[in-house]
Amino acid sequence: MNQTDTIHLLSQCQSGIQMAVNAINDVLPAVEDSKLLEELSSCKAEHERLGVQTQELLAQLHQPEKSANPMALGFSWLKTNIKLAITPGDHCVADLITDGCHMGIKSLHKSYNRYTGAGQQAKQIAQDLIRSESQLTQALEPYL
């Protein structure tokens, strides 16, 4: 295990988790369908669970918590609110979250492939995040 790779992969996971949780929180008030609300809430809970694991591993490595880029968070919030104001509804929510999942999956794959020396627990968290976001993307297809 390469400690530097582990730290980098976990930091990327933590940042992605924060982006995902914030994005879901931003759209939840606009959700109309109870099944969609359940899917988003379930994915959010899974991300929060993985976030706790990520924070614990980073703490064991004496690394401070990494926050998502404030500019990225701000742009995401702005895009979400503008799109929902123009085109409210579950289809817009699904579109926004699907785009976010695709970006998250792409980013996680890049980090996973870049930090090949990361420890098994870090790799497992990245894989679990990819799986969670892939499943959410599939669950959102009927709403697009």
* 125 pLDDT more than 90: yes
How far is residue 3 CA from its own chain's centroid? 23
Domain ranges of the chain: 3-143
**pLDDT beyond 80 at 66:** no
Q: For all residues of the chain together, what is the average pLDDT?
A: 96
3-class DSSP state of 77? helix
Q: What is the pLDDT of residues 70-91, one digit of tens each?
A: 888 888 998 999 999 999 999 9
The contacts of residue 24 (CB under 8 Å, 6+ apart) are 40, 41, 43, 44, 47, 97
Q: In this structure, which amino acid lies at residue 109?
A: H
* pTM score of the predicted model: 0.93
Model confidence at 7, pLDDT cuts 50, 70, 90, reads: very high
Q: Please tell me the predicted confidence (pLDDT) of residue 65.
A: 77
- Residue 127 one-letter amino acid: Q
- For domain 3-143, give the CATH number: 1.20.1260.10
What residue type is 115 in one-letter code? Y
